[in-house]
Amino acid sequence: MYAQMVDTGANKLRALEDMGPEERAFQERVDADVKIEPKDWMPEAYRKTLIRQISQHAHSEIVGMLPEGNWITRAPSLKRKAILMAKVQDEAGHGLYLYAAAETLGVSRDQLVADLHAGKAKYSSIFNYPTLTWADIGAIGWLVDGAAIMNQIPLCRCSFGPYSRAMIRVCKEESFHQRQGFDIMMTLCRGSAEQKAMAQDALNRWWWPSLMMFGPPDADSVHSAQSAQWKIKILSNDELRQRFVDQTVPQADYLGITMPDPELKWNAERGHYDFGPIDWDELYNVVKGNGPCNRDRLQTRVKAWEEGAWVREAALAYAEKRAARAQKAA
């Protein structure tokens, strides 16, 4: 599969015969689907790529709590409030597994968090859009968690053991998240004309940004070819995006709402939906920090970190006290 990416990708890959003995042995293990574990030899670039991707993924989970967190106090019933609280809490857990997986590569969580707060680290573009109505919470679960699962299922088979294992649990939880989002959309679409219009409006605003979550087109994806050779990426950005469109359009039909894309059409010859052009300038602009909520998201994270300093200090003091007591008793 990565031969296909080499044709379109920006990077040239190294052939096995050009590698030194350690690198060749590493690549042969990857090719044989043997997991790479933290203490195994690995190329420095593989380690750096994983730290980049896993930490961006962790930051996405943490920043991703904010758009939905905004609606916990405004959820329309106690049941919806409890469900949303549990979902947002799950996202925090995903962030923690992922920071822990990144730490196995020799980077500290404090450093990763400091980079996020300094605006140096990326996180998924999607979380820089506002949640204007309750229907947005439905659209996030249905589309954003749906896109996330599409991307994360192949990551369960990626070559790095701690990342692949974290993804298995994350995917199980994400599938509940996706269903709760679809359930919200379903309730709205079966409700009053006004509620259905809210669901349509949320779809209109979240559809294109959800397609952007899969990253730039393969031809412009700088990391794809190398990540495919290392089996960090099992499917390309465009393949995953197409699968997501094919899976989601019938779900919108079932809900009785329409994707905001006049060019969307089933192509019987390809066996896939054709869809209109994506505004890549919008993605690059949001990733550069100019999305509708980038500044607000970072400020909120930094404030939460500063205001939580006393909790971290107390937890550390307690752990030290317990360790000292245990040592004395021993």
The phi-psi region of residue 297 (left if phi > 0; otherwise alpha if psi is between -120 and 50; otherwise beta) is alpha
Residue 182: half-sphere exposure toward Cβ, Cα within 13 Å: 18
Closest approach of ligand BYC to the CB of residue 58, in Å? 8
119/191 with CB nearer ligand BYC:
119
Q: Which residues of 233-256 are buried (b: 16+ CB within 10 A; e: fewer)?
A: bbbbbbbbbbbbbeebbebbeebe
- Give the span between the Cα atoms of 120 and 298, in whole angstroms: 11
65/196 with CB nearer ligand BYC:
65
Amino acid in position 36: I
Closest approach of ligand BYC to the CB of residue 209, in Å? 9
Closest approach of ligand BYC to the CB of residue 124, in Å? 4
Burial class (CB in 10 A: 0-12, 13-18, 19+), 318: exposed
264/278 with CB nearer ligand BYC:
278
Point out which residues bind ligand BYC (CB under 6 A). 52-53, 56-57, 60-61, 64, 91, 122, 124-125, 140, 144-145, 148, 151, 212-216, 221-224, 227, 237, 287
Classify 158 as helix, strand or coil.
coil
- Give the span between the Cα atoms of 9 and 3, in whole angstroms: 10
Q: What's the angle, vertex CA 165, arms to CA 180 and CA 101, rounded to 5?
A: 100
Closest approach of ligand BYC to the CB of residue 301, in Å? 13
Cβ(107)–Cβ(51) below 8 Å: yes
227/229 with CB nearer ligand BYC:
227
Closest approach of ligand BYC to the CB of residue 266, in Å? 26
138/216 with CB nearer ligand BYC:
216
185/287 with CB nearer ligand BYC:
287
Residue labelled with tokens 């597994």 = 97
- Give the span between the Cα atoms of 159 and 33, in whole angstroms: 7
42/51 with CB nearer ligand BYC:
51
- Give the span between the Cα atoms of 292 and 205, in whole angstroms: 12
Closest approach of ligand BYC to the CB of residue 224, in Å? 5
Closest approach of ligand BYC to the CB of residue 228, in Å? 9
